[in-house]
């Protein structure tokens, strides 16, 4: 049974999907879950790398529904607190609160939209556009205000960005160097900082909109 701090509980409630769950099953899920602390690089389960999850994200439920192998990686990118609900606890929650099925349908619809957007980007967008969309997506979930700019609070070496986009590190390096020349980004020891004006201009709209910079936390 997890003993969450007030800040950890609030992190879960900051997730729009989790916050929208009915109070009874939401609170019970937090109460019955197990809290794990992971070191950087520690594997939860392993398949192929897809993207980064933001704090409060719910994942791993697909295999609990279809009982098939995990469809993707889950690896701690940094020291991480992980709240884990066992298969038996998950099935018990569904039995006691059938309304949860509707919320999981909504969650899968959100994921499907993101997958269709990703597929469209592979076929219809240039690598520059795909990289911009990926950086905006990461900034929306992991961004911090750094003066007038937006710092992505993740260690993002060019090799990892290349792996995420399925291209060579050299191609990512070329684009980032050009964007630095244009003042769109700054790359500092594996940290990517987006120019605030460029980010606020919704550079990847209408496909993906930037969150308001004022809503992001301050960088430490």
| Distance of alpha carbon 63 from alpha carbon 45, whole angstroms | 12
Read off the tokens for 87: 């298969």
Please tell me the pTM assigned to this model: 0.70
Closest CA to 158 of 137, 124, 134, 183: 134
Strands 74-75 and 143-146: unpaired
Q: Count of residues for the chain?
A: 220
Please name every residue paired with 59 in a beta bridge, in sequence order, or none if there are none: none
Would you give per-residue pLDDT tens digits along the chain (220 residues)? Answer: 567 888 888 989 988 899 999 999 999 999 889 898 888 878 776 555 567 888 888 888 988 998 888 877 788 877 888 889 999 999 999 999 999 999 999 999 988 888 887 777 778 889 999 999 999 989 998 899 999 999 999 888 899 899 888 899 999 999 999 999 999 999 988 899 999 999 999 888 888 889 999 999 898 7
Edge-to-edge order in the sheet of strand 191-194: 143-146, 149-152, 191-194, 185-188
| Distance of alpha carbon 36 from alpha carbon 167, whole angstroms | 34
CB-neighbour burial class of residue 5 (10 A; exposed 0-12, middle 13-18, buried 19+): exposed
């Amino acid at each position: 049974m997890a003993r969450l701090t007030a800040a950890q509980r609030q992190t879960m409630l900051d997730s729009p999907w989790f916050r929208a769950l009915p109070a009874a099953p939401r609170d019970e899920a937090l109460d019955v879950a197990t809290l794990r602390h992971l070191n950087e690089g520690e594997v939860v389960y392993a398949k192929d790398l897809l993207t980064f999850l933001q704090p409060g994200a719910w994942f791993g439920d697909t295999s609990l529904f279809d009982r098939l192998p995990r469809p993707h990686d889950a690896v701690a990118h940094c020291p991480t607190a992980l709240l884990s609900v066992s298969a038996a606890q998950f099935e018990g929650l569904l039995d006691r609160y059938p309304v949860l099925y509707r919320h999981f349908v909504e969650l899968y619809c959100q994921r499907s939209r993101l997958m269709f957007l990703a597929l469209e980007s592979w076929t219809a967008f240039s690598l520059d556009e795909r990289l911009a969309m990926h950086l905006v997506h990461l900034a929306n979930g992991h961004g911090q205000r750094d003066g007038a700019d937006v710092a992505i609070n993740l260690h993002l070496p060019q090799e990892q960005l290349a792996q995420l986009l399925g291209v060579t590190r050299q191609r990512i390096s070329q684009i980032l160097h050009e964007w630095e020349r244009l003042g769109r980004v700054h790359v500092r020891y594996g940290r990517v900082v987006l120019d605030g004006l460029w980010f606020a201009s919704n550079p990847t709209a209408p496909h993906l909109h930037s969150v308001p910079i004022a809503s992001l936390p301050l960088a430490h």
